[in-house]
Amino acid sequence: MSDEQPTTNVGTDILFENDVVRVWRMRLAPGESSELHRHLHDHVFVYANPSVMEAEVSGEDERIRQPSDEGFTFYREVGRDGLLPHRLTNVGTTESTHYIVELLGPSRSDEPQPPVHNGRLIPGHETNW
């Protein structure tokens, strides 16, 4: 990745925010990428439609492929310092929409934890995470 500075905007627009949660929508057309961003808060993702996304993580060579079916949901504890900056790209053939619910305040974990998900991946698509 370039010298681009990451943002904390983890979605394309904010739908709701109070002292406890912030709810984002991330909408990407086929071939479109998100801003380089970081997650500083534990969060839940929910995919509204089947989507094939790839994540490019700063400092890592391999891209993470995530073929998510409608209703794919995962929870992630980001740790005290948050996650590494990354960018999502819609590598599918249809628009992708998912929602991110950030749990504001300190993470429940000192170190980032692997995501816990409901397993709703698109059958027949490979994933590498």
pLDDT digits 0-9 by tens, 94-106: 999 999 999 999 9
Question: Hey, what are 62's tokens?
Answer: 């391999």
Q: What is the CATH number of domain 21-117?
A: 2.60.120.10
- Does residue 93 contact residue 10 with C-beta atoms inside 8 Å? no
Parse the chain into domains and list their residue ranges.
Answer: 21-117
Q: What's the mean pLDDT in 32-42?
A: 97
Q: What tens digit of pLDDT does each residue of 60-74 get? A: 888 888 899 999 999
Residue 33: phi, psi to the nearest 5? -115, 150
Q: What tens digit of pLDDT does each residue of 76-97 get? A: 999 999 999 999 999 999 999 9
What's this model's pTM, rounded to 2 decimal places?
0.91
